[in-house]
Amino acid sequence: MSNGKLGTVGWCFGGGWSLGASLAEPADATVVYYGRVGGTPERLARLKGPVLGHYATQDRWINKQMVSAFETAMDKAGRPYTSHWYEANHAFANPSSGRYDQPDAQLAWTRTLDFFAANLKG
């Protein structure tokens, strides 16, 4: 059963795809786990719903500089977002990775489920 609401979620490369999918087909909620984020304010203004991002302080690729630039563009676009930072490394939510951090992964998942519950309700 569906209420017609659409949410996207992705991890790593898929995190960037989650954002891209929400830009291509406006979603009601978007979740990015340590995926590449960016875009111009004009492009990001096409987002329909809020974005939730989970990022790791030890990540060398998806780092504070990239996320800060994304947040600045989101502010200029007038689009809502929430960023959570974890004392962890890239792929902290991947149980098959040596960088898996169970407490942070569980906290991020709880935040994701709460975000979807709040933004995808009918």
Question: Which residues carry out catalysis?
Answer: 12, 59, 90
Q: Alpha carbon of 94 to those of 11, 22, 46, 113, 116: distances in Å? A: 8, 23, 30, 17, 20
